[in-house]
Amino acid sequence: MSTTIWKISRWKEGVFTACDDEVVEELPLTVFANGREIVTLLTLGENLAELAVGFLRSEGFLSAREDILELKEETGAVRLKLKGDIALVESLMERRTLTTGCGKGTTFYHPLDALRVKPLDTGAVFSPEDILARMGEIQTRSEVFQRTGGTHNASLASPEKTILFRADIGRHNAVDMLGGRALLDGLGVESLALFTTGRVSSEILLKTAKMGVAVLVSRSAPTALALRLAEQLGMTVIGYVRGGRFNVYTGSQRVKECNL
């Protein structure tokens, strides 16, 4: 992952000290589909192909590995050749430069998204101990986060272990990387949960649903819109997983011992 050293003044215990600090870089990745420029994402610069695939999957350009006829990674770009005509999907998505998902530059959610996702009925069931353990793993697996504090972390995990882990400057990117990798590898996700350090917004919830994952767990808080969508889609949302506690907002049937 791309980082750089920055000279700073650090205030600690009443004294300023000159020192070096490691900060993450933001690198542009332009995604092309069937010769058309679709989007430019800002990223740490790793796992570019799976990020592109995951993003295009989330936006409706593809739904299966067989939809990808050709995949080519270049410096600062990923080019894909997809089955069929993508003009209709592209017309529904305004071309834009995406920020890390926290500002006005990102508009992932569209009301039609919720209509295109089927309600989920999976066999994923996690105990409270599973939830705390898997969240603890994504907090410790990102060395860049440990050094810089500048990444969001996400994972796909079974009750017993973390299956896939990704980190990036944006929580959307980290989630899309998981979705892209799962699609490329043909990974079955029905019994897995998606863990994230970022806020559970409506777009993160829909990205998770489009993967076919019914359990979404975050160290942070959900929005009310995300929870309404979760109820419509039959998803489990768990938030504020920290300090040995968590909140179950929807889908309590997938959490052992939660009978409320």
The DSSP 8-state label assigned to residue 142 in this structure reads: -
Q: In terms of DSSP H, where are the helices of the chain?
A: 48-58, 87-91, 111-116, 128-141, 143-148, 171-185, 202-211, 224-233
Contact 250, 227 (CB under 8 A): yes
Which among 93, 102, 248, 258 is annotated as catalytic?
102
> How do strand 152-157 and strand 162-168 relate by DSSP bridges?
antiparallel
CA–CA separation, 90 vs 212, rounded Å? 23
Residue 177 backbone zone (phi > 0: left; psi -120 to 50: alpha; other: beta)? alpha
Is 102 marked active-site? yes
121, 157, 159 from 131: Cα distances, Å: 19, 10, 7
Q: Are 178 and 211 in contact (CB under 8 A)?
A: yes
> Could you give the CA distance from residue 55 to residue 35 in angstroms, rounded to a whole number?
17
- The whole-angstrom distance between residue 136's C-alpha and the CA centroid of its chain comes to 17
Measured CA to CA, the distance from residue 182 to residue 179 in angstroms comes to 5
Amino acid at 23: V
Instruction: Indicate which residues carry an active-site annotation.
Output: 102
